[in-house]
Amino acid sequence: MTTTDTTDLPFNATGFYRLLADKKLMGCRSHSSGVLYLPPRPYCPVSGAADLRWEPLSGRGTLTAFTVIKVPPSHMVAVGYGRDRPYACGVVALDEGPSISAQLFGFDVDDPASIAIGTAVRAVFFERDVDGESRTLLGFEPVAE
Amino acid sequence: MTPRKLSRGVAVVGAGMSGFGAFPGLSTRDLFVDAFLDMRRSIDQGLDPATIEALYLGNFSSSAFEGQGFIAPLTADAVGLLPKPSTRVENACASGGTAVREAMIAVASGLYDVVLAGGIEKQTDLPIARVTDVLATASDTQYEGPAGFTFPGLFGALATAYMDRYGATPEAFMRVAIKNHDNGAVNPRAQFGKRIDDIMAAKRAAAERKGRTIPDWADELEFLADDRANPVIAWPMRLFDCSPVSDGAACVLVVAAELAAQFTDSPLHIVGYGQASAGAAHDRADLTSLSATRDAASQAYAVSGLGPADIDLAEVHDCFTIAEIMATEDLGFFDAGRGWAAATDGATGRDGAIPINTSGGLKSKGHPVGATGVAQVVEVWKQLRGEAGDRQVPGNPSLGLTHNLGGSGQACVVHIFQRRS
């Protein structure tokens, strides 16, 4: 893991994905309200202040909802997914509190009924070609028992 | 905070829609003309179109679907409304309901007396993959997009959360599809004018004609559980759990209540109204219920002094079958976790305790996105005036509710309509 200088990172999707590129999952916390945000926000709606600081997250969480996509959008078809190669995605509640949408790996997509809500998961970082450019994205996989 | 009431009563005095379906060669403007003419025919005392003072037009994405942005003035021109003000209203799948609400507020403000609320969408010119992409722009493209979510996927995820919490099975979703196809089969404007068993019979006949093995489904549930006949789109949502890709238009004439008698002896008074917003799915505390529906409904009930038990019938936003089940709970017709059993035991049928989606719903009537919320009002108009033909709800209903949802629950508009004579 490299050290990322967060000084000038915007508290938004640009900052989030730049941190992912360094294999870091980070949220941001409002100094005045103490609320932790993931996805990051440049403004805390609770306190009404723009006083955010980046904060590392453990990447540990539990699966709260999922689906297995058999008819993908074009950007997923472009990287090889389709009816014969479905994938799972879902919502994960992180141990620190906030939830995030992400692709899921290591689940049996041919038997979706076997996928259990409440499964303990951990963050993985993976590369995907987006418009000819490789981007680091966030995924989750089951924690080995 | 107690929601405020409109300072002036508002009523619907006419309602019409185009057919819903796939109409090659017809643009949204053409379809809107059909809806406009249908609306004019519905006005008992006739309508001088020159009395219409403004147009609010629900539309999700004519820019992407038909390469035509800035659609409101062109649509106003098509039905002879120039130079009256016309405004496009975009709130994803809730665009139509929001247009009705904006028209209502405009009349209640006193600025206008007679306003047209419409909705349009033309989806079938694009290949299905592009349609999926355009619809996906109504999700959170910064986070849900990279995760790989589609709209069937988002509702599939809501469905897995619901199933896990309440023990619901996919059979409940199938029951919603069967019921809505039954209703759509007796709605001449519906995209799918067929019951599921009619579709099964057609598939058997086609197999026989082609000399193939004739499928031996015992009943509709077996057909709907067949991976080949009803493939999974996004688990647990299968093809027949999803509303179709549709073209269509609808409009309603919204007027000051004190002027309603000039148009009809049986206006529908808008007695309940509510609208709410919510975050992306991952920003919501609970995925088994939609807070925007609960918030919009509680406003509509509060201003009307009515409760869910008073409502005679409802058109709810069944973009996916799970969405109908969740809506019937969030609107208060059933307790949390009981909607799936209610769907299974027939409580939402035309002769059930609370008839839901007598039009066939989005599932069978069709879901031309921006038109959907307006077309829901068209069905309530017909039902409350006893003009719904073979699908007429018995018992002389006088209170109808519409529930129009945007995205995976980020927007919701609820209206309650009352016929008083």
Spatial CA neighbour of B404 closest among B366, B363, B374 = B374
Rounded CA gap, B151 and B139, in Å? 8
Mean pLDDT along residues A2-24: 90
Strand partners, B268: B12, B419
User: Does the CB of B144 have a partner CB in chain A at under 8 Å?
Assistant: yes
| pLDDT score of B81 | 98
Q: Please tell me the distance in Å from B168's CA to the nearest CA on chain A.
A: 13
pLDDT band at A131, cuts 50/70/90?
A: confident
Helix, strand, or coil (residue A15): helix
Helix, strand, or coil (residue A135): strand
Instruction: Please name the amino acid found at residue B213.
Output: T
With a cut of 80, say whether residue A132 has pLDDT above it: yes
A89–B149 C-beta distance less than 8 A:
yes
Question: What's the pLDDT tens digit per position in A28-79?
Answer: 999 999 999 999 999 999 999 999 999 999 999 999 999 999 999 999 999 9
Cα B76 from chain centroid (whole Å): 23
Q: Find the CB nearest B164 among A101, A117, A137.
A: A117
Rounded CA gap, B315 and B236, in Å? 24
Rounded CA gap, B301 and B307, in Å? 6
Annotated domain spans of chain A? 13-56, 60-142
User: Which is it for the CA torsion B109, B112, B114, B117, positive or negative?
Assistant: negative
Q: In b/e form, how buried is each residue of B156-192, taking b as 16+ CB within 10 angstroms? A: bbbbbbbbbebebebebbbbbbbbbbbbbbbbebbbb
Spatial CA neighbour of B376 closest among B292, B304, B268 = B268
| pLDDT score of A145 | 65
Q: With residue B249 as reference, give the H or E element that holds it.
A: strand B247-256
Strands (E), B5-141: 10-17, 54-58, 86-89, 114-122
Backbone angles phi, psi at B249, to 5 degrees: -150, 155
With a cut of 70, say whether residue A1 has pLDDT above it: no
Q: Find the CB nearest B129 among A74, A128, A130.
A: A74
- Those of residues 234-273 in B touching chain A at CB distance below 8 A are 234-237
Would you say the pTM of this structure is higher than 0.90? yes
pLDDT band at A134, cuts 50/70/90?
A: very high
* B238: nearest CA partner in chain A: A70
Strands (E), B288-387: 313-315
Spatial CA neighbour of A108 closest among A124, A91, A87, A132 = A87
Q: Find the CB nearest B281 among A74, A76, A91.
A: A91
Spatial CA neighbour of A37 closest among A10, A6, A11, A19 = A11
According to DSSP, residue B91 is labeled B
CATH for A60-142, options being 3.30.70, 1.10.10, 1.25.40, 2.40.50 = 2.40.50
**DSSP letter for each residue of B94-118:** THHHHHHHHHHHHHHTTS-SEEEEE
Judge contact between B304 and B397, C-beta under 8 A. no
| pLDDT score of B256 | 98
* A102: nearest CA partner in chain B: B147
Judge contact between A92 and A63, C-beta under 8 A. yes
ipTM exceeds 0.85, yes or no: yes
Q: Which residue of B283, B287, B290 to mutate against A (max A Cβ within 10 Å)?
A: B283
B129–A112 C-beta distance less than 8 A:
no
Q: Find the CB nearest A64 among B144, B149, B287.
A: B287
C-alpha dihedral, B334 to B335 to B341 to B343, nearest 10°: 30
A101–B143 C-beta distance less than 8 A:
yes
- Does a cis peptide bond (omega within 30 degrees of 0) precede residue B83? yes
Q: What's the count of helices (H) and strands (E) in chain A, helices before strands?
A: 2, 8
Question: What's the pLDDT tens digit per position in B164-195?
Answer: 999 999 999 999 999 999 999 999 999 998 99
Cα A95 from chain centroid (whole Å): 13
A103–B148 C-beta distance less than 8 A:
yes
Find the length of chain B.
Answer: 421
According to DSSP, residue B26 is labeled -
With a cut of 70, say whether residue A3 has pLDDT above it: no
| pLDDT score of B17 | 98
Q: Please tell me the distance in Å from A93's CA to the nearest CA on chain B.
A: 8
Backbone angles phi, psi at B291, to 5 degrees: -65, -35
Judge contact between B340 and B167, C-beta under 8 A. no
How are strands ordered across the β-sheet holding B86-89? Answer: B86-89, B54-58, B114-122, B247-256, B10-17, B268-277, B411-419, B399-406, B313-315
Q: With residue A51 as reference, give the H or E element that holds it.
A: none
Angle at B410 between CA A104 and CA B137, to 5 degrees: 65
Q: Please tell me the distance in Å from A133's CA to the nearest CA on chain B.
A: 14
With a cut of 60, say whether residue A2 has pLDDT above it: no
Rounded CA gap, B241 and B264, in Å? 39
Residues of chain B with pLDDT under 50: none
Spatial CA neighbour of B39 closest among B185, B283, B252 = B252
A68–B140 C-beta distance less than 8 A:
no
